[in-house]
Structure 1
Amino acid sequence: MTFAPRNRWLVLTAVILAFLPVVVDMTILHIAVPSLTVALGASGTEILWIIDIYPLIMAGLLVPMGTLGDRVGHRRLMLIGLSIFGLASISAAFSPTAMMLILSRVLLAVGSSMIIPSVLALIRQTFEDPKERALALGVWSTVASAGAAIGPLTGGFLLEHFWWGSVFLINVPIMLVVLPVVFLLIPNRPVAALGSWKIGHALLLIAGLIATVYAVKTGFKAGPSVFVFGVLALGLALIAWFARLQIVAAEPLLDLSLFRKPAISVGMLMAFVASGSLAGFELLLAQELQYVYGRTPLQAGLFMMPLVVASAIAGPIAGKLAGRFGLRWLGTVGLAAASLALFGISQSNIGGDDVAIACLMALLGFALGVGLLASSAAIMGAAPVEKAGAAGSLEATGYELGAGLGITFFGVLLSAIYRNNFGLGLTGEAAVAAHSIGEAMVVAQKIGGAEGEAIAQTARIAFASAHASVLMVTAALIATLAVVVFVALRNEGTEAGAAVAEH
Structure 2
Amino acid sequence: MCRKWVILAIIVLIYLPVSIDATVLHVAIPTLSTDLSLSANEMLWVIDIYSLIMAGLILPMGALGDRIGFKRLMLIGAGIFGIASLFAAFASSAYMLIVARAFLGVGAAMILPATLAGVRNTFLDEKQRNYALGIWGTVGGGGAAFGPLLGGFILEHFSWGAVFLINVPIIILVLILIVSWIPKQQVYTKQTLNLKQALILVSAILMLIYAIKTSIYAFSGSMLLIFALGLCLLFGFVRHQLRTTQPMIDFSLFKNKVISTSIVMAMVAMIALVGFELLLSQELQFVYGYSPLEAGLFILPFMIAICVGGLFTSILMNNFGLRPVATAGMLMCALCFFALARTDFDAQTIQAWVWMALMGISVEIALLSSTAAIMSSVSAEKATAAGAIEGMAYELGAGLGIAIFGLLLSVFYAQSMVLPNTLPENLVVEVSSSIGEALAAIQHADPILIQQVQHAASEAFIHSHSKVLTISGGMFLVLSLFVWRALPAQQKLVDQ
Fold-level similarity (TM above 0.5): yes
What secondary structure does 1:446 align onto? coil
Paired with 1:307 and 1:293, the residues of 2 have a C-alpha distance of 19
* Cα deviation code 1:224-250 (max 9, x no counterpart): 332222111111111111111110110
1:67 and 2:63 are equivalent in the alignment? yes
Q: Match for 2:295: what amino acid?
A: A
In the TM superposition, residue 373 of structure 1 has moved relative to its aligned partner by: 0.8
Paired with 1:156 and 1:253, the residues of 2 have a C-alpha distance of 38
Paired with 2:170 and 2:445, the residues of 1 have a C-alpha distance of 41
Paired with 1:436 and 1:233, the residues of 2 have a C-alpha distance of 28
**Counterpart position of 2:48:** 52
Paired with 1:491 and 1:333, the residues of 2 have a C-alpha distance of 14
* Cα deviation code 1:349-392 (max 9, x no counterpart): 11111111001000011101100111112222222332111111
Q: Match for 1:428: what amino acid?
A: N
Paired with 1:357 and 1:475, the residues of 2 have a C-alpha distance of 16
Paired with 2:327 and 2:320, the residues of 1 have a C-alpha distance of 11
Q: How does 1:22-171 map to 2 (within 5 A)?
A: 22-171=18-167
Q: Match for 1:437: what amino acid?
A: I
Of 318, 325, 335, 2:320 maps to 325
Paired with 1:129 and 1:387, the residues of 2 have a C-alpha distance of 20
TM-score of the superposed pair, with normalisation by structure 1: 0.96
1:391 and 2:381 are equivalent in the alignment? no
In the TM superposition, residue 320 of structure 1 has moved relative to its aligned partner by: 2.6
Give yes or no for contact 1:443–1:452 (8 Å, CA) kept in 2.
Answer: no
Q: Which runs of 5+ in 1 are unaligned?
A: none
Of 428, 447, 452, 1:454 maps to 452
Give yes or no for contact 1:66–1:117 (8 Å, CA) kept in 2.
Answer: yes
1:219 and 2:215 are equivalent in the alignment? yes
Q: Match for 1:230: what amino acid?
A: L
* Cα deviation code 1:455-497 (max 9, x no counterpart): 122111100110000000010011100010011113433x66x
Q: Match for 2:130: what amino acid?
A: A
Paired with 2:299 and 2:270, the residues of 1 have a C-alpha distance of 16
In the TM superposition, residue 219 of structure 1 has moved relative to its aligned partner by: 1.3
CA distance 1:129–1:43, change in 2 (3 Å): same
Of 290, 294, 299, 2:294 maps to 299
Give yes or no for contact 2:66–2:191 (8 Å, CA) kept in 1.
Answer: no
More moved, 189-198 vs 410-419: 189-198
**Counterpart position of 1:245:** 240
- The sequence identity of aligned pairs, in percent, is 43
In the TM superposition, residue 316 of structure 1 has moved relative to its aligned partner by: 3.3
Give yes or no for contact 1:246–1:254 (8 Å, CA) kept in 2.
Answer: yes
What secondary structure does 1:7 align onto? helix
Give yes or no for contact 1:275–1:399 (8 Å, CA) kept in 2.
Answer: yes
Give yes or no for contact 2:418–2:456 (8 Å, CA) kept in 1.
Answer: no
* Cα deviation code 1:100-142 (max 9, x no counterpart): 1000000100111111100010110000100111111111111
Paired with 1:140 and 1:312, the residues of 2 have a C-alpha distance of 13
**Counterpart position of 2:177:** 181
1:276 and 2:238 are equivalent in the alignment? no
More moved, 207-216 vs 231-240: 231-240
**Counterpart position of 2:306:** 311
Paired with 2:10 and 2:170, the residues of 1 have a C-alpha distance of 12
**Counterpart position of 2:255:** 260
Give yes or no for contact 1:160–1:298 (8 Å, CA) kept in 2.
Answer: yes
**Counterpart position of 2:488:** 490
1:230 and 2:225 are equivalent in the alignment? yes
More moved, 23-32 vs 450-459: 450-459
**Counterpart position of 1:6:** 2
Q: Match for 1:207: what amino acid?
A: S
In the TM superposition, residue 83 of structure 1 has moved relative to its aligned partner by: 1.1
Of 416, 431, 434, 1:433 maps to 431
Paired with 2:269 and 2:246, the residues of 1 have a C-alpha distance of 29
Q: Match for 2:442: what amino acid?
A: A
Paired with 2:365 and 2:292, the residues of 1 have a C-alpha distance of 28
* Cα deviation code 1:119-168 (max 9, x no counterpart): 01011000010011111111111111221122111100000011111111
1:474 and 2:472 are equivalent in the alignment? yes
Paired with 2:189 and 2:208, the residues of 1 have a C-alpha distance of 34
TM-score of the superposed pair, with normalisation by structure 2: 0.97
In the TM superposition, residue 25 of structure 1 has moved relative to its aligned partner by: 0.9
Give yes or no for contact 1:81–1:112 (8 Å, CA) kept in 2.
Answer: yes
Paired with 2:8 and 2:446, the residues of 1 have a C-alpha distance of 54
**Counterpart position of 2:339:** 344
**Counterpart position of 2:354:** 359
More moved, 378-387 vs 366-375: 378-387
* Cα deviation code 1:323-366 (max 9, x no counterpart): 22111011100010011011111101111111110010000111
Q: How does 1:394-413 map to 2 (within 5 A)?
A: 394-413=389-408
In the TM superposition, residue 220 of structure 1 has moved relative to its aligned partner by: 1.3
* Cα deviation code 1:226-279 (max 9, x no counterpart): 222211111111111111111011010000111111111111110110001100
What secondary structure does 1:475 align onto? helix
More moved, 193-202 vs 29-38: 193-202
Paired with 1:492 and 1:158, the residues of 2 have a C-alpha distance of 48
Of 285, 289, 308, 1:290 maps to 285
CA distance 1:48–1:312, change in 2 (3 Å): same
In the TM superposition, residue 448 of structure 1 has moved relative to its aligned partner by: 5.1
What secondary structure does 2:85 align onto? helix
In the TM superposition, residue 438 of structure 1 has moved relative to its aligned partner by: 1.1
* Cα deviation code 1:388-418 (max 9, x no counterpart): 1111111111111111111111010110000
* Cα deviation code 1:66-115 (max 9, x no counterpart): 10011011111111111111111111111110011000000100111111
Give yes or no for contact 1:84–1:111 (8 Å, CA) kept in 2.
Answer: yes
Structure 1 segments of 4 or more deviating over 3 A? Answer: 423-426, 490-493
What secondary structure does 1:445 align onto? coil
1:209 and 2:208 are equivalent in the alignment? no
In the TM superposition, residue 430 of structure 1 has moved relative to its aligned partner by: 4.2
In the TM superposition, residue 441 of structure 1 has moved relative to its aligned partner by: 1.3
Give yes or no for contact 2:23–2:147 (8 Å, CA) kept in 1.
Answer: yes
**Counterpart position of 2:194:** 198
